[in-house]
Amino acid sequence: MTAAEVSSAATTALRPFRSPLLVGLPGVAHGFTGRAVGYDAADANVGYSAPRDRTLAWAARDAWCAAIGLDAERMVTVGQVHGADVLGVGDREAGVGARPGTGPAGYADALVTDRPGVVLMTLHADCLPILLVDPDRPAVAAVHAGWRGTVAGVAGAAVAAMTREFGTDPGRLLAAVGPAICAPCYEVGPEVVDAWTSVEGDPAAVVAGTGPTARPHFDLTTANRWSLVRAGVRPDRIDLAGICTRCDGEAWFSHRGQGPTTGRFGAVIGLTGDRPAGEGR
């Protein structure tokens, strides 16, 4: 960072967006990083892909994690491939994908862990972020769901992985569904509708366009809420942010709104290991 950028960063507070459902949970820290216009030359982007500056992105990752209450040096990221693979990570993977040149830890669209101090992060710029917490084990997950991952069932796959690896009861899970592009802003082609229909997904996730040549729209939030409920998560334990990344482009990075060279925001979660004695299994 230049001297001017350091000065700007020092005087601009980063304020992660948090889910009311997860705030206050003992032993869990989380946040969605967002876009902080003027924080640095890249508006506090945390993604490394070109043409973005990796040095600035690492400094932003470090600052965002500090604001959330987690250690960026223990962050784990993956190469996101718009599928439904889930990667379980532990102490050995901590830090893989954190600094430039250290990752990715693998190729997947969801991460799960039950290890205190391991920080999970997925990257987004319209695709839906989901954070999951098993308050009993405890264990956490971070999920990246674009339309392909949604159709492939990545949300349900993350729930299944937590059940398999940690003995999680899906009915006890808490799910924070973060900011993503809204249905009115997300015009799609017939291949998306056909793919969603083929898995017998909730019809409410497909919104008809208007006019004789209008294309359909897809609701990522509705689709993934349906997938979570189908996987056994209780509806009253799912929090929907209700924020559109394209409509609110000042606060969020949006591929549809700002173009393919825009930055990325992160969905970040980790266990802090400071649960009161006697809690958990």
CATH at 141: 3.60.140.10
pLDDT value at residue 13 = 82
Helix (H) or strand (E) holding 159: helix 154-166
Q: In what order do the strands lie in the sheet with 28-32?
A: 28-32, 265-271, 119-124, 75-76
Site of tokens 């020092």: 10
Does 11 fall in a domain? Answer: no
Does 261 fall in a domain? Answer: yes
How far apart CA 221 and CA 256 sit, in angstroms, is: 16
Does 6 fall in a domain? Answer: no
Does 9 fall in a domain? Answer: no
Does 114 fall in a domain? Answer: yes
Does 48 fall in a domain? Answer: yes
What does the pLDDT profile of the chain (281 residues) look like in tens digits?
343 443 344 446 899 999 999 999 999 999 999 999 999 999 999 999 989 999 999 999 999 999 999 999 999 999 999 999 999 999 999 999 999 999 899 999 999 999 999 999 999 999 999 999 999 999 999 999 999 999 999 999 999 999 999 999 999 999 999 999 999 999 999 999 999 999 999 999 999 887 666 899 999 999 999 999 999 999 999 999 999 999 999 999 999 999 999 999 999 999 998 654 334 43
Bridge-based pairing state of the strands 206-207 and 217-218: antiparallel
Q: 140 lies in which domain range?
A: 17-181+237-271
Q: Is-cis flag, bond preceding 135, omega within 30?
A: no
Contacts of 115 (CB under 8 A, 6+ apart): 89, 90, 91, 94, 271
pLDDT value at residue 274 = 66
Indicate the pTM of the whole model: 0.93
Measured on CA atoms in the order 90, 178, 86, 166, is the torsion positive or negative? positive
Question: Residue 186 in 3-state DSSP?
Answer: coil
Does 104 fall in a domain? Answer: yes
Output the six-digit token pair for 196. Answer: 């969603």
Does 191 fall in a domain? Answer: no
Domain count within the chain:
1
